[in-house]
Structure formats: C-alpha cells, structure tokens
Chains A and B, each alone.
Chain A
Amino acid sequence: MFWSLGVVAVASGVAVFVVDSMARATYALAVSFVAVGATVLLLEQDYVGMITVLMMIMEMAVMAVYMIMFMGMNPALMPMSMVHDHRRAVVAGVATFALLGAGALLVPWPQRRGAPDPDVTMALGETLMGSKMLVMMTISPVMVATIVAGIVLAAPRGRYDRFGDDLRGRRADDPQPGGVGR
C-alpha cells in the first residue's frame, strides 16, 4: 500500500511538469498531494491525514484558477515548458534528494519506548503544542486578521474611493456591489 501510494505521488509529481496544460498540471499536483495524505493515513494519523487531503483538494481547486490566470498562455493543451533555469534546478534537485535520502536511510532509527496512545491524534496534539495550547489558539485568528489586513492594504480602492472624501457616502461606489451592500 505504501509503495503504491509512493509511486502514485512521485508519478503525478513528475506529471505536473510534463503535461501541456495548466489545469492538468494543477490536478496532477492535487493527485500527488492526496497520495501523500493517504500515506499519512497509513501512519494511523487519521485526523492529520484526512485534513491534509481536504486542504490539498481545496487548495488545488483555487490554485487552478490562479495558475491559469497568471501563467495564462497555456490553459490549452499546447506544448509548454514549466521549468526555468533548467540545469541549475536539476543539480539542486538531485543534490537535495541525495542529502535527504541519505539522511533517511543512514540516520539510526530510534527504539520505540512503550506503546502508542489509543487516541493518537490527541497525543500528537499534546506533544506538539503541549503547554502552549492557548498561544496556538490565539494565533489562528491573528493569522486570519493578518491575511484580511494584507488584502485590505493591497486593494486598489480604499475607503475614500468607495465612500467619498468625507466618508459620508451612503452606499459604497463599487464597480461590482456585494450582496449585503456594505
């Protein structure tokens, strides 16, 4: 099972660079990620594995939109090249693979002490975050707020464009009004 998932992940990863269409490249990447998520499931990390698969499918669906938007010329099945700076990339890739592969094979594996917790997810969570649980829980709304703030800062039309110089406009002057009228 592990080997077949590994083959699927690597093969679809290669397919990302080989296929001629941005949409196909994105979804080949999605398949690769799903295979990796399934591998995590094999490690009995149910929650982490399922969440990985969920997140990756959602991300690839949105990323397809951006890939096609920004790397435009080739949503059609036209021959294209996805790589830049070919030679250096190959060298860097092979070197990294050799380093990590050597590390995985040569570093001595630790001995298992005791038995795995019946609730693996809870145990994993406590080990990773432990006493810092409160900090972790505060971080996620802060991250969302940062993302929103970044988009607000980057938007070309600010409050003054939308509501007028004295901010007294009743309705926002948007080229495409939103549904709630804010």
Chain B
Amino acid sequence: MDVRARLTSAAVRAAHVLVVEAPGGWRERFAAERAAAARGWTPAASPADADVLVVCGAPGDDLAALLDRVWDQLPGPRARAQVRSPTGAGQALAEAAALLADERHQRRDARERRQEPAPLHGDMDHGGMDHGDTDHGDMDHGGTDHGGMDHGDMAPAGIPLASGGPDRDGLEMDVLHLSLGPVLPSWPAGLVLDVALQGDVVVSAEARHVGGPTAEGHHGLEPPERAAYRVDGVARLLDLAGWPDAASRARRTRDVLLDGDSATGHRLLVGLRSRVGRSRLLRWQLRGLGPPGRPDVHDRLLRALARAVDDLGRDAGDPGDGTSEDGGAGPDGLASATVGLELAAVRLVVAAADLDRLPTRREVVGG
C-alpha cells in the first residue's frame, strides 16, 4: 500500500538514535552524531525513545553484554548499527535506515525477540527493564512502624522494596541503589557510577569502568582535534544544562573544526564562547556546583572554551597545556565529589570533570 510505504518512510526520516560510545571510540561517535544530524535524526534520550542503537568503537565483552540488554529495551521497530571507523558512519546509518524500513525484517524481529526482561544472574544487580545497569527498587521514602499492617510478600515481581537508612537531616529515608551509565546520553564512555540515592540526593557513590581500562598516557592529538574534543565536551554539558540549541551549535562547531576549516571554526568557536559566557541564566544555574574550593561547573565550562580557542592558535605538533589544575582526579575523586549532590548536579559535575580530560594515549590510538 502506498500509504503504508509513505508512512514508513516518514517514520524512518524521523528516527531517534541512541549513540553509545565504547571507550576509545570518540572519533566514531563524532562521526555517527554528525551523520545522524545530517539525516535529520534526533538523539534519543533513553532506550524507550530510540529506534536505532549505534555502537561506536569496539566494545569489550562486558560492555557488549550490557548493550544486548539495552537492545532488548528498544521497542520495535528497531535497528542496530556498528560504527567501526569514522568514515563508515554514514554507511552504517544508511544500512540501519534500510533495516528500519524493511517491514518483513521488523516483523520477524518482533516475533523472535524476547517479550520479558532477561532474568539476572551473577553479580549483576537485579533490575527490570531499565537502561544498562540501572536498578529500580521502588522509590520509597521513610518508613515508620505500623502495628497491624499486613506486610505480605515484600518483593513484588522479585525486586525487593527499598530499605531505610538515616538521611542528612537525621530522619529515616529509604535508600535506592542505582547504577548510572554506561549507556546514558552525555555520559563519559565506559564510566559506571553506582550510587545510593535517598530521594534524589546521592548518599554514597562508587565509580568503576566498563569496556576497557583507561591507561594514562600523553595526549597525542593535533591542536584542531584537541579543540574539537573540548568543544564536544562543552556540547554535552550544555545538553545536560537543558540548552539544546547551544549544544547543537557547539556540535556544528566541532564538526567544522574536525574538517580542518580553522577560519570558520575559529569564528564559530569565538561566537559560541561569547554566547555561553553572556548567558546570565546559565551562570545562575551552574554556579556553585561542585566541590567547594575548586572551580565550579560554570568556571570549568568557560575554561574549556578558552582552552579550545587557545588550542586553535597553536601550531601543529604543539602539545599545549593538557594538564588541568586538578591533576585529573581519578574515578574515586569523582565519586566522592558527587556525594551529597542531587542527580542533576551529579550529572553536571561529572560532565564538567570530563571537560578537563583529554583522550589518553590508548584512546587516541584506538585501542
């Protein structure tokens, strides 16, 4: 039917993509995001929103297992794409689009896929159908004693209800264990932050890496690429700050810088920097976030933009001042910095800490 074909092609035109970066796959991710934007596809906020799952780089075994669980959560019609090199992004997305439009393939996929969440085993946290590693107990707050209450079975559908613990005001409040990442939009690749939440305030946090360790090493990027990497970090932070327009402007700047067009890139970057710096609302929202005594999120944002502009002015081969004043706090420093913050602040602080990081040698070589 012609109507059906037209509806299908309209649906494929507006597909939402969930872009997952394996550690070391940042070039592929830039290319995938660029290709998706060129097709008019929007980035998905969660697996439920996504039609296409794009994996950039080479995931390790544990990350691949998590990606299979995420793949399970995509409602149909769905397609999966693997971007192994930056130049292959457009082709991978085109194939995914063709798969999306292929009715017979989608019908077979719908028939053969599993309808219930996979049972969990081993050391994975129980969790139902949620992203990657996230867990959902019920968000219980407080729990006082009741005589005469019939408790019954305290684990609906096999997931135990949250148990209580003292909160920062000395009251008792229920604790929810949640794992943030590794598949989360605008989240550093391969990072998993296991947090214990009371309400939406983090009470304790532990960081770990999935999909390959990050080896320390020198930064081997050319200045334009370095500037592009920094601008990408800025784009992710702006997305988290709820300013999608500035974020897409930053991504366009990043793409121009990657193309090597320094004149336009410099102009766009300076324009972006002044726009972001001028925004008083952004300053109001981002000020004061982060550990006391250190630069807050707003300062880090402006500093990253300044460094990007600075990078553009350097010649090829100049390593630049890659070190950050914090000496690159490792994952444990990051986890302790998020304790006591609420979820939105945690996301912003993690993204801001990521701004100071440049890809390590292993990631540059693509290992």
Touching chains A and B, CB distance < 8 Å: yes
Interface residues of A (CB under 8 A from B): 68-73, 75-81, 84, 156, 175-177, 179
- Whether the Cβ atoms of A77 and B156 lie closer than 8 Å is yes
CB within 8 Å of A: which B120-142 residues: 138-142
**Closest B residue to A65 using CB positions:** B141
**Inter-chain contacts of B140 with A (CB < 8 A):** 68, 72-73, 75
Given known pairs A175-B340, A176-B342, A177-B288, the reply for A76 and B141 (CB within 8 Å) is no
**Segment of B58-66, B143-151, B244-252, B302-310 engaged in the interface with chain A:** B143-151
**Inter-chain contacts of B169 with A (CB < 8 A):** 156
Give A80 to B284 CA distance when docked, in angstroms: 45
Give A71 to B284 CA distance when docked, in angstroms: 37
Closest CB-CB distance, A36 to chain B, in whole Å? 28
Give A175 to B288 CA distance when docked, in angstroms: 12
Tally chain B residues at the interface, Cβ within 8 Å.
Answer: 28
Instruction: Specify which of A72, A76, A80, A84 is in contact with B150 (CB 8 Å cutoff).
Output: A80
B218 touches A (CB below 8 Å): no
**Inter-chain contacts of B201 with A (CB < 8 A):** 176
Instruction: Specify which of A72, A80, A84 is in contact with B174 (CB 8 Å cutoff).
Output: A72
| Interchain residue pairs with CB less than 8 A apart (15) | A68-B141, A69-B141, A71-B144, A72-B164, A73-B143, A75-B138, A76-B138, A77-B156, A78-B152, A78-B154, A78-B156, A81-B148, A84-B148, A156-B170, A176-B342
**Inter-chain contacts of B147 with A (CB < 8 A):** 84
- Whether the Cβ atoms of A76 and B149 lie closer than 8 Å is no
**Inter-chain contacts of A156 with B (CB < 8 A):** 169-170
Give A71 to B145 CA distance when docked, in angstroms: 9
**Closest A residue to B289 using CB positions:** A177
Given known pairs A84-B148, A156-B170, the reply for A78 and B139 (CB within 8 Å) is no
Instruction: Specify which of B141, B156, B288, B340 is in contact with A72 (CB 8 Å cutoff).
Output: B141
Instruction: Specify which of A79, A84, A179 is in contact with B152 (CB 8 Å cutoff).
Output: A79
**Inter-chain contacts of B154 with A (CB < 8 A):** 73, 78
B283 touches A (CB below 8 Å): no
Give A80 to B149 CA distance when docked, in angstroms: 6
Please encode chain B, from 282 to 301, with 1 for each CB lying within 8 Å of some chain A CB and 0 for all others. Answer: 00100010000000000000
B116 touches A (CB below 8 Å): no
B105 touches A (CB below 8 Å): no
Give A73 to B160 CA distance when docked, in angstroms: 11
Closest CB-CB distance, A93 to chain B, in whole Å? 17
Residue of B149, B156, B201, B340 ringed by the most chain A CB atoms within 10 A: B149
B153 touches A (CB below 8 Å): yes
**Inter-chain contacts of A177 with B (CB < 8 A):** 288
Closest CB-CB distance, A87 to chain B, in whole Å? 12
- Whether the Cβ atoms of B152 and A76 lie closer than 8 Å is no
Give A76 to B157 CA distance when docked, in angstroms: 10
- Whether the Cβ atoms of A75 and B139 lie closer than 8 Å is yes
- Whether the Cβ atoms of B152 and A72 lie closer than 8 Å is no
- Whether the Cβ atoms of A78 and B153 lie closer than 8 Å is yes
**Closest A residue to B161 using CB positions:** A76
**Closest B residue to A75 using CB positions:** B138
**Inter-chain contacts of B170 with A (CB < 8 A):** 156
B168 touches A (CB below 8 Å): yes
Closest CB-CB distance, A77 to chain B, in whole Å? 7
- Whether the Cβ atoms of B142 and A72 lie closer than 8 Å is yes
Closest CB-CB distance, A60 to chain B, in whole Å? 17
Give A156 to B169 CA distance when docked, in angstroms: 8
**Inter-chain contacts of A79 with B (CB < 8 A):** 150, 152
Give A176 to B252 CA distance when docked, in angstroms: 35
Instruction: Specify which of B139, B148, B149, B168 is in contact with A73 (CB 8 Å cutoff).
Output: B149
Residue of A69, A70, A84 ringed by the most chain B CB atoms within 10 A: A69
**Closest A residue to B170 using CB positions:** A156
**Inter-chain contacts of B164 with A (CB < 8 A):** 72
Give A70 to B147 CA distance when docked, in angstroms: 14
**Inter-chain contacts of B139 with A (CB < 8 A):** 75
